[in-house]
Amino acid sequence: MSVKLRGHHLLCVLTFIGHGYSPAFSKNYKAVVKRLNAGEPVELVDGPDEICATLIREETEPHCFNCSVVERDKAAVKLASQILGSELHVGDELVLNSRLIGKMREAYAEGNFRKACENCEWVQFCAEIASSGYEKVLLRNPKHH
């Protein structure tokens, strides 16, 4: 199995500390991160993913389908590809090992993902988490089989 994530959620998981849009959303997100910590690979998807699932059920007009979010996905994938040194595409599987997470977190802290995070309501919150050295994040060094 693999965890299905949209492009910009590759960045969001780097700074997730348990907060979210609703208690059910946060509970689902924590379950996704637990799977990543257990070593489950990520499958890059186009559009709403496993993190979005709760919002889609809870809200009549979830932002998951907005053009701005789709653009954020594209920007995140493009920037992640540059940082990781290999082009990422929908359908690709990635293993979020400690080297990859470290590289992405370093780039995030340096501001290399700003374009992908434009107009996101969480951007300041995530910046504070990054500046704290990712101290309370839930995504740790995953175990890989």
Residue 55 contacts by C-beta under 8 Å, 6 or more apart in sequence? 21, 22, 25, 62, 63, 64
pLDDT digits (tens, 9 = 90+) for 93-141: 999 999 999 999 999 999 999 899 988 999 999 999 999 999 999 999 6
Does the reported pTM lie above 0.85? yes
- Per-domain residue ranges of the chain: 3-131
CA angle 47, 48, 54 (to 5 degrees): 170
Query: Cβ(33)–Cβ(138) under 8 Å?
Result: yes
Structural tokens at position 144: 């890989």
96 vs 85: CA distance, rounded Å:
15
Residue type, 133: G
What local confidence, expressed as pLDDT, does residue 66 receive? 86
pLDDT confidence tier of residue 60, bands split at 50, 70 and 90? confident
What local confidence, expressed as pLDDT, does residue 141 receive? 67
Average pLDDT over residues 81-86: 95
Residue type, 82: Q
